[in-house]
Amino acid sequence: MPPSPPCAQGAQPRRSCLLSPATVCPVTSPVGASQSAETDLLALTAELVDRPSVSFEEGPFVDWLEAELRRLPHLTVTRIGDNLVARTDLGRSQRLVLAGHTDTVPVSGNGEARIDGDVLWGLGSADMKGGLAVFLDLARTVPEPEHDLTFVFYAREEVAHEHSGLAEILAVQPELLAGDCALLGEPTSAAIEAGCQGALRFEVVLTGARAHTARPWMGRNAVHRLAPVLAELAGYRARRPVIDGCEYREALQAVSVEGGVAGNVVPDSVTLRIHHRYAPDRTAAEAEAFVRGLLAPHIEHDDRIDIVDSSSACAPSLTHPLLRRLVDDNGLEVRAKLGWTDVARFDELGIPATNFGPGDATVAHTPGERLERASVERHARALRALLTEPGPVEAS
Ligand SMILES: [Zn+2]
């Protein structure tokens, strides 16, 4: 269980922060002051948390963000639906894409931001308005970055893939997403979570023959046929391939079962749903073949295995010089991303991408969602150094 937010008593009143780029934010923090002009990133994240943006209702948040970005003369801003792309065009040899989703899951009694010491509590603080705050602050305060920048703020990540705002941009103006590498600001506690695992959802339908339960030998029980299939899944030993130093631990789980006709009928059909997470050393086709092969001994002529959803994996991309430098210069911890994220969409475009954001993913989507100052400042400091300090990176 996530810890509960602290009670309001004792919490500091949140300090206000004017967000106009023409106005230096009056809120400073002892650590933040050294890394990002004078912006208090926890306070800025709180401002974003207080602007609600539950999936499909991001419009007003995006209106505000668009106005903020359009104030910045060094950025060219394009809006597609409720998605924003803001680009520099400085003729640099490399272009870095900084991308993040604007939406949150529904409110769970935590819609209002509250800062208590160096912790910000509130919906979206970790997933992922802390990352958005860092991007926005960089957009405002680094007008001449060492590498061209593309900021991508997209809608509807927290819902089914078919609604993805990133997919909407890809369908309309994919060239806007072009870049040499990409960082997704999903919460990783300011570590690098490289690539992502692919995901496949299967429906397995086993057939039988109906009969009266008083005379079951006249039929064939489809539910009973699940037994060896479930044993196969329960006995599955996960592959743990190591790719570029990152260990990806695969998973294969039965997630639901549906079947039965009536209390006195031998069932003639059962549907088992399976979710498979696979490492990026396999393609979706290879992962599918693996599952089909595993279940093959239990599948008969009238049975079916259907794929109902497929999300491709993304290989770690830490050999890219910009990403390598980000890791090396900041001594960042590197680990594999075991879930799926939108880095896979960039990978499909041929853009190396990885996850790097402030906040702890394990508190995301919980009533106790929060963001710690040290996390957001560590993330911001690393990105700011990459954008402002000349490095040995050459065009790839
Ligand atoms: Zn997220």
Distance 226 CA to ligand 1 centre (A): 36
Å from CA of 216 to ligand 1 middle? 50
Please write down the HEC assignment for all residues of 322-355.
HHHHHHHHHCCCEEECCCCCCHHHHHHCCCCEEE
Q: Are strands 304-311 and 83-87 parallel, antiparallel or unpaired?
A: unpaired
Q: Domains, the chain, ranges and CATH?
A: 32-195+314-388 (3.40.630.10), 198-311 (3.30.70.360)
Q: For 247-304, how does the pLDDT look when each residue is reduced to its tens digit (9 = 90+)?
A: 999 999 999 999 999 999 999 999 999 999 999 999 999 999 999 999 999 999 999 9
Q: Please list the active-site residues.
A: 103, 157
Distance CA 290, CA 304 (A): 16
Tell how far the Cα of 70 is from the centroid of ligand 1, in angstroms. Answer: 25
Q: For 239-308, where are the alpha helices, taking DSSP H only?
A: 284-295
Peptide bond into 218 cis (omega under 30): no
Q: Quick check: 1 pLDDT over 70?
A: no
Instruction: Render pLDDT for 164-173 as a digit per residue (tens, 0 to 9).
Output: 999 999 999 9
Ligand 1 midpoint to CA 5 (Å):
20
Residues around ligand 1, an ion, CB closer than 5 A: 127-128, 186
Q: Residue 38: what pLDDT? A: 78
Q: How far apart are CA 180 and CA 20, in angstroms?
A: 30
Distance from the alpha carbon of residue 25 to the mean position of ligand 1, in angstroms: 27
Confidence tier at 339 by pLDDT (50, 70, 90) = confident
**Structure-token pair, residue 309:** 């959803």
| 72-109 pLDDT tens trace | 999 999 999 999 999 999 999 999 999 999 999 999 99
Q: Is the pLDDT of residue 150 over 70?
A: yes
pTM over 0.85: no
